[in-house]
């Protein structure tokens, strides 16, 4: 029941059929990421120009309720587009990456109030943060994006009352042959578990594909972004899921060098 980054690279597929089998998978996924990142970058530049122009319109025509109404609609569309481009850039590993020494516990604490505020009353949110967690070298904003995405999916997987648990712990990973490029040695681990509907093997094998979704209003970009961010931090992801029972996603991030020498 383990889906790893390797499975992701093995299962990437275009709508029209399998990828070109004459090319190695890594090369193909790299090409997709480069394309996605390139487009997202151009879109971002255009979105900045659009927001600037909307601001100017509102300034020049201030007090006109019609202008305000249309500007509000445009700004909310821009907000949605910005989220998509941020996720695409994260998947392509071209996001704004500013690593600092940080603890995964701090990341959880930073966004926990917002997560708790948006949780419905019949979902019990648990937080179990380990003491003495090794620090990691990471971009806090990107890791917040990871935790929010996992919690969002956990929430959306609920089909009634249930539990979502966010936990951190220290771990020592040995090399696992089925997870290439995995973080080996001392790691900080964060896991998000839910008692939601779980996933079939087929779904689990595809969750990191950009635009793969099983939801009516889903966009299928958050797990792709999680994948890009974790890879950018030399980390590993393990997904454990049982249909009808729930899902646990574990992310392992290597302890910062200063921590290892201690």
Ligand X SMILES: Nc1ncnc2c1ncn2[C@@H]1O[C@H](COP(=O)(O)OP(=O)(O)O)[C@@H](O)[C@H]1O
Binding partner of 179, given ligand X, Mg ion, none, CB within 5-8 angstroms per partner class:
none
HSE at residue 158, side-chain half, CA atoms within 13 A, is: 20
- 107-132 exposure pattern, b = at least 16 Cβ within 10 A, e = fewer: bbeebbeebeeeeeeebebeeebbee
Q: How far is the CB of 1 from ligand X (least distance, A)?
A: 13
Contacts of 123 (CB under 8 A, 6+ apart): 155, 158, 161, 162, 163, 164
Q: Does 85 bind Mg ion (CB under 5 A)?
A: no
135 binds Mg ion (CB under 5 A): no
Find the shortest distance in angstroms from Cβ 153 to ligand X: 3
Binding site for ligand X (CB under 6 A): 149, 153-154, 157, 194, 196-199, 203, 207, 212-215, 218-224, 247
Residue 102 binds which entry of Mg ion, ligand X, none, with Cβ cut-offs from 5 to 8 Å by kind? none
- Please, which residue, 103 or 236, has the CB nearer to ligand X? 236
CB 249 within 8 A of CB 4: no
Tell me how crowded residue 100 is: count the other CB atoms within 10 A of its CB: 11
Q: Pick between residue 153 and residue 248 the one whose CB is nearest to Mg ion.
A: 153
Question: SS3 of 56, please?
Answer: helix
Backbone angles phi, psi at 109, to 5 degrees: -60, -35
**Which of 153, 183, 195, 247 is close enough to bind Mg ion by CB under 5 A?**
153
Distance of closest approach, residue 195 Cβ to ligand X, in angstroms = 10
Residue 243 binds which entry of Mg ion, ligand X, none, with Cβ cut-offs from 5 to 8 Å by kind?
none
Provide, rounded to whole angstroms, the least separation between the CB of residue 90 and ligand X: 11
Applying CB under 5 A, which part among 38-46, 214-222, 245-253, 254-262 lies near Mg ion?
214-222
Select from 87, 222, 236, 241 the one that contacts Mg ion (CB under 5 A). 222
Residue bearing tokens 């008692």: 195
- Residue 33: name its binding partner from Mg ion, ligand X, none (Cβ under 5 to 8 Å by kind): none
From the list 36-44, 121-129, 221-229, 249-257, the region that binds Mg ion by CB under 5 A is: 221-229
Stretch that binds Mg ion, among 84-92, 139-147, 190-198, 217-225 (CB under 5 A): 217-225
C-alpha–C-alpha distance, residues 110 and 88, integer Å: 24
- Helix intervals (H) in the chain: 5-11, 25-60, 65-91, 104-117, 140-157, 201-204, 222-232, 257-261
Task: List residues near Mg ion by CB under 5 A.
Answer: 153, 222
């Amino acid at each position: 029941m383990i889906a790893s980054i390797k499975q992701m690279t093995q299962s990437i597929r275009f709508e029209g059929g399998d990828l070109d089998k004459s090319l190695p998978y890594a090369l193909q996924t790299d090409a997709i990421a480069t394309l996605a990142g390139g487009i997202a970058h151009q879109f971002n530049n255009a979105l900045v120009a659009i927001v600037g122009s909307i601001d100017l319109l509102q300034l020049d025509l201030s007090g006109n309720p019609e202008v305000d109404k249309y500007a509000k609609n445009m700004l909310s569309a821009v907000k949605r587009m910005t989220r998509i481009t941020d996720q695409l850039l994260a998947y392509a590993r071209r996001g704004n990456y500013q690593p600092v020494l940080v603890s995964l516990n701090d990341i959880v604490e930073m966004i926990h109030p917002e997560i708790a505020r948006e949780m419905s009353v019949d979902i019990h949110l648990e937080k179990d943060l380990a003491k003495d967690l090794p620090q990691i070298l990471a971009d806090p904003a990107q890791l917040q994006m990871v935790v929010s995405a996992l919690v969002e999916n956990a929430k959306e997987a609920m089909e009634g009352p249930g539990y979502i648990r966010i936990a951190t712990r220290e771990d020592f990973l040995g090399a696992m042959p089925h997870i290439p490029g995995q973080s080996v040695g001392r790691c900080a681990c964060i896991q998000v578990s839910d008692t939601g509907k779980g996933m079939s093997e087929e779904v689990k094998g595809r969750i990191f594909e950009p635009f793969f979704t099983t939801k009516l209003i889903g966009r299928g970009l958050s797990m792709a972004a999680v994948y890009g961010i974790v890879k950018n931090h030399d980390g590993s992801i393990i997904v454990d899921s049982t249909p009808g029972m729930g899902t646990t996603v574990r992310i392992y991030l290597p302890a910062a060098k200063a921590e290892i020498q201690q």
